[in-house]
Structures are given as C-alpha cells and as structure tokens.
C-alpha cells in the first residue's frame, strides 16, 4: 500500500474543528503551524503530508493525518529538554520512548473533539503502524505496560491515564 492509499479513510487535520489542534498544543506551550495545501512540510521525517517538527512547532497541512499530528506532538512531549532545544525533523529517542509516544498519541486522541482513541487506533492500523499483537488496539490493551509505566515515571500521564499538559524536563 502506498501513502496515498493509506491516507484514504484516515482522519486529517483539515477535518477537525479549525482551532482544536492548536488549542491542544497550546496547553503544552507548543505551537501549530498550518501550511498551504500544496506546500512542502519542513521537519517532516517521512515527507508531506506527514507532520513536521521544528523546535516547539508542529507543522501540518489540511491533508496531514491526525495520527501523524498526534504522533509528532507526543514526541515533543516525551523528549527531554536538551533534545527539544535542537529539534528538527528527527525526534530520536529509545525504543521504549517510541512506544510511549504511540501510547500517548492514543490518549491525546481523546482530547480532540471528533477523534477519540478508537478512531485513532483504526487509522494507525490503516496507515501501517506495526505491533507484535497485530493491531494497535491489541497492543494498547495487552502489550503496552512498559510504555504506560514510562509515561507514569516521567509524570506525563496520571494513574487514570490522563495526559498532564506538561513536557518532560
């Protein structure tokens, strides 16, 4: 499946209430930059339409998948301050941190009206996220304890799995 085929059926940021993504990022002191529909996306690891990372800004177009926006946003939340200071394109991090990013992006989906974790997990599967148990939902429910513990240890979620609107120091 190519990127265009994977995108079909995935929720995009252009389908959301226009202010919702920016308000969510703003709670963390981060910025969202909307780019024209035909623009390249600076800081995009995979290239447009995937979201980009430059400093404290996540860059998107209307056709950027919501899962990409939330994934890159979660990367900024999960990385430490020294990495965040030099952020451009590649978030880096350990395998455990990458799993924590995936877990957090699912929780953050509940913070966006009209998205929610169930929809986001379906889109992640459609896009091609790969988990040992075969689906995002199965991973989240049965194989993500280490990711959850990592987020708890860094105080990025509470025991009830609510995102804490703070960045990892």
Q: Please write the tens of the pLDDT for every residue from 3-56.
A: 454 466 899 999 999 999 999 999 999 999 999 999 999 999 999 999 999 999
User: Can you give the pTM of this predicted structure?
Assistant: 0.94
Residues 65 and 12: beta-carbon distance below 8 Å: yes
Rounded to a whole number, what is the largest CA-CA distance in the chain?
42
Mean pLDDT of the chain: 94
Q: What is the pLDDT of residue 119?
A: 97
- Which residues are 60's β-sheet partners? 34
- Give the pLDDT confidence score for residue 2 in this predicted structure: 43
Residue 51: which region, alpha, beta or left (left: phi > 0; alpha: psi -120 to 50)? Answer: beta
pLDDT of residue 76 exceeding 50, the answer is yes
pLDDT of residue 7: 60
Give me the mean pLDDT over the 59-82 stretch: 97
For residues 156-160, average pLDDT: 98
- Judged by average pLDDT, the poorest of 4-18, 73-87, 140-154 is 4-18
Q: With pLDDT > 70 as the criterion, what percentage of the chain qualifies?
A: 95
H/E segment holding residue 54: strand 52-54
Helix, strand, or coil here: 164?
coil
Question: Can you list the pairs that 113-119 forms with residues at least 24 positions away whose Cβ atoms lie under 8 Å?
Answer: 113/16, 113/17, 113/20, 114/11, 114/15, 114/16, 114/17, 114/20, 115/11, 115/16, 115/66, 119/11
Q: Is the pLDDT of residue 147 over 50?
A: yes
Band (pLDDT 50/70/90 cuts) for residue 134 is: confident
Question: Is pLDDT at 164 greater than 90 in this prediction?
Answer: yes
């Amino acid at each position: 499946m190519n990127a265009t085929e994977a995108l079909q059926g995935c929720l995009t940021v252009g389908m959301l209430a226009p202010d919702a993504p920016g308000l969510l990022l703003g709670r963390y002191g981060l910025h969202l930059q909307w780019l024209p529909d035909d623009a390249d996306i600076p800081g995009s690891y995979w290239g447009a339409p995937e979201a980009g990372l430059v400093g404290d800004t996540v860059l998107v177009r209307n056709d950027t998948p919501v899962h990409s926006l939330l994934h890159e946003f979660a990367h900024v939340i999960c990385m430490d301050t020294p990495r965040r200071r030099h952020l451009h394109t590649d978030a880096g991090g350990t395998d455990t941190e990458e799993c924590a990013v995936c877990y957090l992006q699912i929780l953050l989906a509940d913070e966006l009206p009209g998205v929610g974790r169930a929809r986001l997990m379906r889109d992640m599967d459609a896009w091609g996220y790969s988990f040992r148990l075969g689906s995002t939902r199965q991973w989240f429910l049965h194989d993500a304890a280490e990711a959850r513990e990592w987020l708890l240890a860094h105080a990025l979620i509470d025991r009830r799995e609510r995102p804490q609107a703070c960045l990892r120091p």
